[in-house]
A and B are shown apart, each in its own frame.
Chain A
Amino acid sequence: GESVGLHLPTLSVQEGDNSIINCAYSNSASDYFIWYKQESGKGPQFIIDIRSNMDKRQGQRVTVLLNKTVKHLSLQIAATQPGDSAVYFCAEKMDTGFQKLVFGTGTRLLVSP
């Protein structure tokens, strides 16, 4: 909900612009990554994922880029719309036997009409 976003970095864009949201992940052994979108008062929503053997993956209006050298993940949103306003956060899964995700704290995206 709203309380989640109190301490988050914020990216403000105009409608129609392209948005880039960044995430630094922690573990070089992580083999799978997910971007989530969370609107106020709702649960996180799966957007797109990428495996560590890929550098780029595209979805509908979204692209995820993975740079394993510097442990960096980015989410690009094309032609950003007011409905894209939300908190976005990444998650990484370590290559262990247990299916556990580690989540970032997120970035708030504000889209102005």
Chain B
Amino acid sequence: DAGITQSPRHKVTETGTPVTLRCHQTENHRYMYWYRQDPGHGLRLIHYSYGVKDTDKGEVSDGYSVSRSKTEDFLLTLESATSSQTSVYFCAIQKGGMGEQYFGPGTRLTVT
């Protein structure tokens, strides 16, 4: 157990609606990440955070924003959901100095 929870675990939403996914960690690690996982692709980085209020874009950040107002929570927001954002979303934390990441259980998001 990496001490990471994600909520909600499943969500179905309509195109054009805003959606926020939450990642919560219990261990106060500095680095947190949001990924999406789709068939035929490895995990792809959406955004990451290297501290409170310190965030940056990953390789597939278009259409997503993030916020980190406290160490333990990292929020991912889809301002206006599209069908192409149907995916499984994983949050991860980095625990050690080499870069090892540990993942949460995921959120399955369906945009209809």
Contacts and interface: CB of A to CB of B under 8 A. Distances in A.
A99 interface: yes
B102 interface: yes
Majority-rule SS of B interface residues: loop
A44 B41 contact: no
A42 interface: yes
Contacts of B105: 42-43
A32 B96 CA distance: 12
A99 B102 contact: no
B101 A101 contact: yes
A38 B77 CA distance: 25
A4 B99 contact: no
B94 A43 contact: no
A1 B108 contact: yes
Contact of A42 (B39, B43, B44, B106): B106
Size bracket, chain A contacts: 20 to 34
A5 B40 CA distance: 8
A44 B92 CA distance: 10
Interface string B48-74: 100000000010000000000000000
Contact of B88 (A1, A103, A104): A1
20 contacts: A1-B106, A3-B88, A4-B39, A32-B98, A34-B101, A36-B103, A42-B106, A43-B90, A43-B103, A43-B104, A49-B98, A91-B101, A93-B99, A99-B99, A101-B99, A101-B101, A102-B42, A103-B42, A103-B44, A105-B41
